[in-house]
A and B are shown apart, each in its own frame.
Chain A
Amino acid sequence: MIEKEDPVISEEEAAQYDRQIRLWGLDAQKRLRGSRVLLAGVGGLGAELAKNLILAGIKGLTLLDHEQVSEESCRAQFLVPVSAQGQNRAQASLERAQNLNPMVEVHADPDRVEDKPDDFFLQFDVVCLTGCSRDLMVRVDQLCSQHNIKVFCGDVYGYYGYMFCNLGQEHSYVEEKLKVVKPSPSSNDGPEAKKAKVDPNETTMVKKTASFCNLKEALEVDWTSEKAKANLKRTPVDYFLLHVLLKFRTDKGRDPDPKSCADDSQLLKQIRDDVLEAMGLSGDLLSDEFISYCFSEMSPVCAVVGGVLGQEVVKALSQRDTPHRNFFFFDGRKGNGVVDYFGPN
């Protein structure tokens, strides 16, 4: 849980974080200041996310990644120096990550996320998973939601990317609303302020809650019911694309690789057909077009998805503003970014 202590924001921090304190306020900044985040998977999207969270000024970030630096795994990864080929990806990212903001405690952990005991995850307020298998994500999501730890998942596949979040059954947050200033004869914002008006500088905080489901539920939506079928037209196809790409990862133990482009393209087609059939849906739902655009992590797509994901983590930790519930999908060819809910109603 977020630490109860009320960390004092120093004048030094106030100067560095000035432009964001003016946006989300001092309370939100204090909450960030007391939060610890685990980031499993330090590829292109992971690097973007790490940058955004370190700049925002959280208390601590742990980079967990067992992979070695390779050209393909680091195409969009700006935290790894070019000279670090063959080194552990988390450790190779540490120095640059730390340089982004010396006020944040950044750690590198070269272990496999699969090998971590349950206890390990419980020391964090938020756990972010990128590049992980579906099974692992489901396991960690279930574990964390039992302990009131917020979970975020995300990946980038070529021009496509997504984010999932589970902030628990009852996530409380505040939202800022402008205050209607009642006219008062003695003191108000000016002699001419006779009628009630909103002062752009006077706001109040409104308390709200939002409810989230587990990743397992979100991925196991039943598409055979009439209601679900009726909704199909308004459902972003990106959701089904995600299923296809997660299945590819499960089957091959890796993501589509430009080096085996032809074979992987065939396999993607096959998996697309299988996945949609298993859901009781037509294979036409997802045309072949995606296949040539879903290879490798693309830097600008990592920037977009990492930006949205990073801001959602900031919102969750600072308990401020309505969270996106519960998926965000980005299609870099269309420039389209959709937020939609999947799971039990």
Chain B
Amino acid sequence: MAQLVGSLRKELADSLSSCKVLVVGAGGIGCELLKNLVLTGFKNIDVIDLDTIDVSNLNRQFLFQKKHVGKSKAQVAKESALQFCPSANITAYHDSIMNPDYNVEFFRQFMLVMNALDNRAARNHVNRMCLAADIPLVESGTAGYLGQVTVIKKGMTECYECQPKPAQKTFPGCTIRNTPSEPIHCIVWAKYLFNQLFGEEDADQEVSPDTADPEAAWNPEETAARATASEKDGDIRRVSTKEWARSTGYDPIKLFNKLFKDDIMYLLTMDKLWKKRKAPTPLDWQQLENSAHPQEESPTTSGLKDQQVLDVWGYCQLFQHSVESLRSQLQEKGEGSELVWDKDDPPAMDFVTAAANLRMNIFSMNMKSRFDVKSMAGNIIPAIATTNAVIAGLIVLEGLKILSGELDSCRTIFLNKCPNLRKKLLVPCILDKPSLNCYVCASKPEVTVKVNVQKTTVLSLQDKILKERFGMVAPDVQIEDGKGTILISSEEGETETNNNKFISDFGIRNGSRLQADDFLQDYTLLINVLHTEELERDVEFEVVGEAPDKAPPPQSNQEEVNSITNGNKDSAQPSTSSKAAADDDDIMIVDSDEERGAPSSSAAVTTSTKRKHPDSETSETSTKRPRTDQSAAAAATDDDNDDIIALD
């Protein structure tokens, strides 16, 4: 009989006390994980998290108390976990794991890396760092009642990026600006409006009527004519929304009448839009005020104030008050300052609630409570202690297998809401082999991208294709033109002058090859350029071999879609990642999964084509597992991810 230390063989217990591990993220999963690690006997633990503690974390991030709100998660988590085992050696970093300080050398000092993240950008990055350093990684995620744990080892298993993730759903500009048909369109519009008025202006976040909407025109000439006309269409549209708002002194009533009356009247003139749709109804401040019933204080209901839906005049008043508050916030910050939208800033949240609801009313939709608007606008994933506890327990169990040299027995494990037809609540599945054409872990990663070389700038190649789509942090790009022309350099000041030029200006055309390198990630990607002039409106590029906007999977009874989720992302900033939330804030995954349990969060459904093999111990050999009630749907949307690895 082997000697035991607690439940563990002595050799394993000894190796735990001497090895060093990294925990990336000290949020919902991270807190539970740190506890499990120290109690299991891990002694050398580094933990990194960019975030600070918020009151809404306290229902599950049990290493934090109310007195810790505002402090560094990593630091407080370390101090609390040390109380469980004062002899442990825990190092806390209040930082982003994407910071270049954490290079391949940094990763190489660990025997094991465990992700407890909440966003895809950081997950992609850690995946690459662990591949580059050849360190095993345990990846995890939770959303509501659902969760997943998996193991990634270079050359032996799939990496995090082997299977294409579903693209984040974006909405066409004209749907947002002209023809919203769902509450989410109005909420996205309201967030754009916030930025246009108070924040950083972004050309991709226009809120005024889109006169070039192809659907609005009876013929192409007319579109062009209208587009030209709108250029001359008076001062309102010529100056930026912000300039105009400032010129009115942020007068709430003037803003109201422009946004909810004049702009809507203008939309009504685009009569073709309303042939098959119900036309919007403009709102008029004066009229609403005159017909408003004196606000009777409703007797205290048992519900929360936030969960009540006001009447139209109620939202008019909320609009007025929130504009006034935001105006003073701007004034306090001084000349030329900008506000950043934050769902936890009451006036900012009130503003979006009011503006979205007024627009919903105009477009004949049922209005929504502030509580519901906040879920959608803030991409809030419901999160509970128990799911995180289960997942963090599973992470350590997989970690123990890795440290015992039993990588073969590692599994991807799904936590379902209800047991599946084979009675499993926790479903272990065999790990897949690396995908040969993975654009990350293949021996020579290569992709083909369709773009219009005459319309794609160097900056959008860098930001939208290399950083956003291919997860690079600081890319260098060289054209394989025989001369080795440097198109993009990660060194500051070297190639910025190229930014606003089109890539065709550098001789890039159909068939050109680009070599993109990320030094930090030790990652090189070869990009084949396919020139096209036939991309859809609002689509800047397409990766060949991948549908541009994948449809959700069929929700048939034979399919079980299990998903890894984002984790409990619930702050505006992706924790442990330096990426600004603004990048993806407005992008949501919206779907109507009929099995979804959560009432007020948007569901994300995953669309991977991957199929998992049920664990070998069972007699069934079918790779299709019956879908069980509610097990499948991940109610997961996130600020910048929706990280759902879908399996079935």
Residues of A within 8 A of B (CB): 6, 8-9, 11, 14-20, 22-23, 25-26, 30, 44, 48, 51-52, 55-57, 72, 75-76, 78, 81-82, 99-102, 158-159, 176, 178, 186-193, 197-201, 203, 236, 258, 261-262, 265, 292-293, 295-304, 306-308, 310-311, 314, 321-322, 324, 328, 330, 332-340
Contacts and interface: CB of A to CB of B under 8 A. Distances in A.
Interface string B47-58: 000000001101
Given A176-B597, A191-B363, A334-B428, 10 more contacts: A19-B570, A20-B382, A188-B365, A190-B363, A292-B1, A295-B7, A303-B36, A307-B386, A311-B145, A324-B425
A6 B366 CA distance: 29
Contacts of A324: 419, 425
Contacts of B149: 335
A194 to B, nearest CB: 9
Given A19-B382, A99-B65, A301-B393, A336 B59 contact: no
B444 interface: no
Contact of A23 (B8, B9, B35, B598): B598
B496 interface: no
B419 A15 contact: no
Nearest to B398: A335
A310 B380 contact: no
A337 B389 contact: no
Q: Which 4 A-B pairs have the closest CB atoms?
A: A337-B426, A303-B393, A191-B278, A23-B382
Contacts of B591: 200
Given A178-B592, A299-B35, A51 B62 contact: yes
A124 B182 CA distance: 46
A258 B55 contact: no
B578 interface: no
A101 B111 CA distance: 35
B252 interface: no
23 contacts: A14-B304, A16-B56, A16-B59, A23-B597, A55-B62, A72-B6, A76-B39, A78-B39, A82-B86, A178-B594, A193-B181, A200-B592, A201-B599, A292-B9, A295-B6, A299-B39, A300-B36, A300-B392, A300-B396, A304-B394, A328-B425, A333-B409, A337-B425
B272 to A, nearest CB: 14
A300 B397 contact: yes
A23 B279 CA distance: 35
A195 to B, nearest CB: 12
Nearest to B4: A258
A19 B568 contact: yes
Nearest to B55: A15
A304 B62 CA distance: 16
Interface stretch (B123-131, B447-455, B544-552, B600-608): B600-608
Could you say which of A72, A306, A337 has the most chain B C-beta atoms within 10 Å of its C-beta? Answer: A337
Given A190-B181, A201-B368, A22 B55 contact: no
A204 to B, nearest CB: 10
A261 B384 contact: no
Nearest to A339: B419
A280 B88 CA distance: 50
A299 B424 CA distance: 22
A16 B1 contact: no
Contact of A15 (B56, B383, B386, B394): B56
Given A190-B180, A300-B40, A306-B389, A22 B600 contact: yes
A114 to B, nearest CB: 27
B383 A19 contact: yes
A147 B375 CA distance: 40
Contacts of B1: 261-262, 265, 292
Contacts of B333: none
B253 interface: no
B84 interface: yes
A18 B349 CA distance: 15
Interface in B580-638: 590-594, 596-603, 615, 617, 629
Given A52-B385, A308-B390, A296 B419 contact: no
Nearest to B40: A299
B5 A258 contact: yes
B3 interface: yes
B182 A189 contact: yes
A292 B9 CA distance: 9
A17 B59 contact: yes
B84 A20 contact: no
Nearest to B380: A22
A322 B418 CA distance: 8
A136 to B, nearest CB: 25
A8 B386 contact: no
B397 A189 contact: no
A334 B4 contact: no
Contact of B304 (A26, A52, A81): A26
Contacts of B418: 322
A15 B393 CA distance: 27
Contacts of A78: 35, 39, 84
A300 B6 CA distance: 12
Contacts of A297: 7
Nearest to A312: B386
A236 B423 CA distance: 10
B83 A310 contact: no
B601 A22 contact: yes
